Every structure is written in structure tokens, then in C-alpha cells.
Chain A
Amino acid sequence: MTRYLTRRAATTALTLFGIVVVVFFVVRILPGDAAVLRAGPYADAARLAEVREQYGLNDSLLEQFWTYLSGVIQGDLGTSTVSNGSVTAELLQRLPASLELGLYAVFLACLIGIPMGIVAASRQGGWIDRFTRAGVIMGSSMALFWLGLLLIYFFYSRLGWFPAPIDRLPVAAEPPPHLTGLFTVDALLTGQPDLAWTAARSLMLPVLTLTVVLVAPVMKMVRQSMIETLRSDYVRTARAMGIKERDVLVRDGFRNAMLPVITAIGIVFGYMLGGNIIVETLFAWPGIGRYAYQSIQNNDLEALQGFVILVGVLYVLLNVLIDVLYGLVDPRIRIGARAKS
């Protein structure tokens, strides 16, 4: 277990380092004068020199990289070329909005996808199975931006069931005090159920859009994992010993099928981090995805670079967390083998 953890920590550190390397150099593939970008096209030579000095642009690329890397290690993702603000601060300020949207979507995708996958696997070929497989294929071929647009058209423009797809709260509403940063939770914690409901109504359409796409991989992976588990020898043994089918499904099937599903949820988080750029843009949701969109529009590569590194780091750390969870759930990793043959 210790050796496993050491190795895991080493590869994680290497991957995190790789992320910074890749992003830093990818952003600098094209030769261009970073000083012009920062100072604007009309800056004179003196102003350009000043900017070069201020941002260390006179150093070699490798030196700039080390400066940037040591900044990243201390949590500094650089300075936005547009706002001149700290990228870390700007991202952190927007992160709760993204988390609120993403967590609800992932939670809902699991809430629907896991039971569907299990039932589909335990009655293979039945109508729930067919429905699930159809849902998987539809979900994996769905274009997020199109689906979101249709939902907005139908439920907002035509039916008027939901508030305008702009921001986390309608203009008139006052955000709750900052506790967790999740408006629905904060509103409830401060005893404002009405505000929580208002926030929830703004959340519904974007969450629904993201969920439709996220539920597909969850269903697919749960179903596959469950089918494999139900074919295993130990499930056959349990049945041969007369254990009731419901117990077999839960204790032999589900419990063991959950191990790969935990990994699957990590992958779904990755999808979510990619997908939220489109959903946040579409719903004018003030999270990190929309920040990325705006930095593309403003040609603010520093900010975009910060976003991508943050996403990469979040994703890697999440996978580490999943590995630890895995170890807690699976006795083969937790205890380790000491068998002879």
C-alpha cells in the first residue's frame, strides 16, 4: 500500500508538471510579441520596454517558464493581459458558480444513470435495457450547444417556465452571503428558502442540458460493469448456493460493479469540465467556463492558460481522490495480497 501510494504520488507530480509544461509551451507556439499583446497595438517603444521589464519578457523562454512554474506552485497563475488582475483570483471568484452547476449535473447524472445501468444489466434485452442503450447513443451524439438552445427556446421563450438564461439569479435578487459559494446551499443555510428556490430555478435549465450529456457515459459504464460482474463466477456461486436474486444483485453484483463506476464518475467530471464552457456561455453563467470563453474572445491567452491549468489540476487531483476511495472500497488494494498461489 505504501509503495503503491509513493508511486502514485510520483506519477501525479509528474503529470501535474507535464500539464504546466504542455500548456505553457502550447500557448507560446506562435512567435508573437507578448509585449504588444499586453500593451496594446498603439503603445510606443518606451511603454513596450516598460511592459517587457514588468512581465519579465526580456528573459529567455526557459527562464520565463521557471518563473511561471514557481508561481503556479505557489498558486499564482499569472496576470490577465486584459484586466491586469490576478488570474488565480479571477478564477477562484468564478469557481463556485461552475461547481454549483457541475455538481448538480454530475449528481443528477449519477442519480439517473446508476439505477438505469443496473436495471438494464440485470434484465438484458428487456425494455429498460433497450431504452438505456438508446439513451446512451442519443446522449453521446448530442450537441450540447444545440440542446441548450432548444431548451431555452422551448422552456423560456415559448413556455416561460424558467427565468431568462442570464446569470445565477434574476437581476432583482440579492445573492446570499458567501459561505460555500453555492447559492442554493448558502440561501438555505441562512434561512432563505425562497431565495434558494429562485437560485434553483435559474440552475434548472443549464443543469438539465449538462445532465443529458453526462448521463450517457454513466449509464454506459454502469451497465457494462454490471454485466461483467453478473457474469462472474462468484455471482454464479452465490446463485448456486440459493442466495436470493435481489441479494445477489445488490451484494455481489452492485457492490463489485461500483469499483469501475467510481472511475467512470471521474471521467464524467472531465466531460463536465469541458462541457461547462459551452453551457456557461449559452446561459451567461458567471463561472470559469464563461471566463475561458471571454478570454478567447479577448485574445487573453494568459487567462486561458490559467483556466486550462486549473482544469487539468482539478481533474488530476480528482482522479487521485478516486484512487484513494477505490482503495477504501476494494479490500484487494486496502489489505494487499499475501497469498501463495
Chain B
Amino acid sequence: MSLLDVRGLSVGIAGKEELLLRDVTLSLQPGEIQGVVGESGSGKTMASLALLGLLPPSVELRGGTAAIGGRTVLDASRRGVTRQVGDLTMVFQNPRGALNPTMKVGHQVRRVLTKVRGKSKGEATTETVALLRRVGIPGAERVAGSYPHQLSGGMCQRVVIAMALAYRPRVLIADEPTTGLDVTVQAQIFDLLRELVEETNCGVLFITHDLGAVAEMCDRVSVLYAGQLMETGTTIETFEQPRHPYTRFLLESLSPQESSRLTSTEEAGVDFSLPGCRFAHRCAHAFERCSDFPQLFQAGPQHLYSCFLGEEEDDVAAQRSQLA
């Protein structure tokens, strides 16, 4: 059984028909790091916020369920989001902004321990320093007494990760955790995340648009475009035998250095109200069936994709084999 199981997740802007996320399905195993890639505006962050129950007021849940370790944490038709302590949490991009500017960073970690995990003050103080040390902060006792503006961006991100550790999540969502950090610091944060997964056996959804980082870090990868899951599979399968035209487009046209310059979905002019495949308007292989919404097709035991083209190809292949 999967650790995290998301089915048919849909969200839309309140008062409008258009769906920002449509029928998104994800699954994550314990100890797995799964990349979630897509252009900005593809719904990566929106999906994470939906799972956390932190959608902005103008966005509403339209459908879907999610379960962690078999227990429902999100049910759009009934109770909404019912996340419990230790289920999942998230590390955001822009680590400086993610910390309260008027609170010492040690206190920000400690209050997760006291207010959320119910530890006593003394216990929490000791554990805070241990956690800060664990995420590789030199001079943890001193840093605990600092304010965020006194720390570098990399240090701030380590503090946020320490807060996440204090929460002891079974699933951690890391949303572009290294954007804006130096390359060497990026590598350190990646290493840290990998170590933490090994130690705690939690699952990580690693949101990024850096395909290089995905290749290096992730066991599996899910590709989103305009709120639609395009393809999901092991990193090797997906990158070596992509089944969706969009995945191919991503891999062919962009070297890792360029991937941060992906056009955003808004610039690409996606019409979120159209019922069909959302990549159709940019797809070189689009044909009449693409005006319907493609369900997920199976290409391997763990390899799914959302495109009619594959089915046609499979049919053609089947016909050929019959003819032969």
C-alpha cells in the first residue's frame, strides 16, 4: 500500500467553472523521493496547498480524495481536509520569507515541538538545539537566539527543515527548496533531504522545474501541465521512454540550465475552461480525440500517462503484430 495516495484531486477558482487542477492522481511510497515537475502555473504548488488544507480563500476544492498510510486526510465530497499532526508538512521556496521576522529562529522550531507535538518546555529546548545541529547549522545554540534577518538564505532553509523535522511528518513536500540559493548550498540541502529520508523513512514530494535535480534526487517523477497530470513513472522509465508528448517536449527542448526559464502556463495561453487535454493547443501530435479529457493509460507497472496518442500507437503496434 502506498504511503500517500491522491485520487482525482481537482481545485478551481471560487465562482468560476475552470479547474486549476483536474483529476490529479499521485502515489508515494515510504522512503521515496518523487519529483513533481512542470512549468510555473502548472499547479504543483496548488496541489500541495490543497493537501495541506491551505488553499488561498479564492480557490476551492472541487473533488478528490487523499489518504496517508490508509487514513483519509482529504475528502472533497465530505469533510474537506482533516490533516493530523505528523501526517504531512511542507518546506517552501524563499526560505527567508518563510520565517517570522520578529521571532527568534530557535523559538520558531521550539513552538512546533511545544504547541504541536505537546512537548514540555525543557524537553523542547534541548531538542531544538539538537534539530538545528542535525540540519547542519554550526553553533546551533547561538543561532537559535538569532532572528531570520541575521541568517543567510541557506541557513534559513535549514531552520525551516528543522521545523519540518520537529513536526515529524510521514510525507514532506519540498517546494523548490533551493531556489535562489548558491549552487554549493543547493547541493548541501539536497544531501540533507536525502539523509533525512533514509533516517526517518518518510516520503518526499520534491517540487521543482530543474530536471537535472530530478534525475539526481528522485526515484520517481510526475509531470504536471496546466493542472493536468501528464505522466508519472520511475525517473529512469520516464526520462528514457517518455510516453507523453509534453514530457518529450520538456526533455528534448530544455537542457537543465534552461529549465528554469520554462514559459509559464499563463504565457502559453492555456484555456482552463476547455474540456479536452490541456496540452493539445501546443501539441504537434494533437488530433480530434484530444478534445476529450484523456484518462490515465498504463505503459508499465508504475508508468502511467494521460494521452490518447499512446493508445493509438499501442493499437497500431497491435495491428502490426497481427499483420505480421
Contact = CB atoms under 8 A, between A and B. Distances in A.
Interface stretch (B84-92, B234-242, B283-291): B84-92
Nearest to B109: A241
Contacts of A340: 152
A241 B103 CA distance: 15
Given A125-B57, A256-B100, A332-B101, A240 B90 contact: yes
Contacts of A256: 100-102
B205 interface: no
A236 B54 CA distance: 8
Interface string A328-341: 01111001011111
Contacts of A247: 111, 115
A337 B153 CA distance: 13
Contacts of A244: 115
A237 B103 contact: no
A339 B149 contact: yes
A37 B275 CA distance: 83
B318 interface: no
A339 B111 CA distance: 24
Identify the interface centre among B90, B100, B147, B167: most chain A CB within 10 Å of its CB: B100
A332 B147 contact: yes
Contacts of A239: 52, 54
Nearest to B180: A341
A243 to B, nearest CB: 6
A335 B147 contact: yes
Contacts of B102: 255-256, 329-331
A240 B94 contact: no
Interface in A189-208: none
Nearest to B167: A241
A313 B151 CA distance: 39
A202 B160 CA distance: 56
B163 A241 contact: yes
B84 to A, nearest CB: 9
Contacts of B149: 331-332, 335, 337, 339
A180 interface: no
Interface string A247-267: 100011001100000000000
A237 B99 contact: yes
A58 interface: no
Contact of A240 (B89, B111, B115, B153): B89
B273 interface: no
A64 interface: no
B152 A339 contact: yes
A337 B89 CA distance: 29
Contacts of A330: 101-102
B179 to A, nearest CB: 12
Contacts of A241: 89, 112, 116, 163-164, 166-167
Nearest to B86: A242
A243 B101 contact: no
A248 to B, nearest CB: 10
Given A124-B57, A242-B116, A234 B152 contact: no
A329 B90 CA distance: 29
A242 B167 contact: yes
Contacts of B89: 240-242
A243 B92 contact: no
A44 interface: no
A232 interface: yes
Contacts of A33: none
Interface in A201-246: 231-234, 236-244
B95 to A, nearest CB: 9
B138 interface: no
A125 B99 CA distance: 27
B101 A234 contact: yes
A252 to B, nearest CB: 5
A341 B54 contact: no
- Between A124, A236, A242, A341, the greatest number of chain B beta carbons within 10 A of the residue's beta carbon is seen for A242
B255 interface: no
A240 B150 contact: no
Nearest to B155: A339
Contact of B116 (A243, A335, A338): A243
B115 A243 contact: yes
A251 B153 contact: no
A158 B166 CA distance: 65
Nearest to B166: A241
A231 B151 CA distance: 23
A20 to B, nearest CB: 38
A233 B116 contact: no
B212 interface: no
A241 to B, nearest CB: 5
Given A236-B98, A237-B90, 11 more contacts: A233-B94, A234-B98, A237-B163, A241-B89, A242-B116, A243-B112, A256-B100, A256-B102, A329-B102, A335-B147, A337-B149
Interface of B: 52, 54, 56-57, 83, 85, 89-90, 92, 94, 97-103, 111-112, 115-116, 147, 149-153, 160, 163-164, 166-167, 182
In the A-B complex, the 8 residue pairs with the closest CB atoms: A233-B97, A242-B116, A331-B147, A237-B98, A234-B100, A240-B90, A233-B98, A332-B149
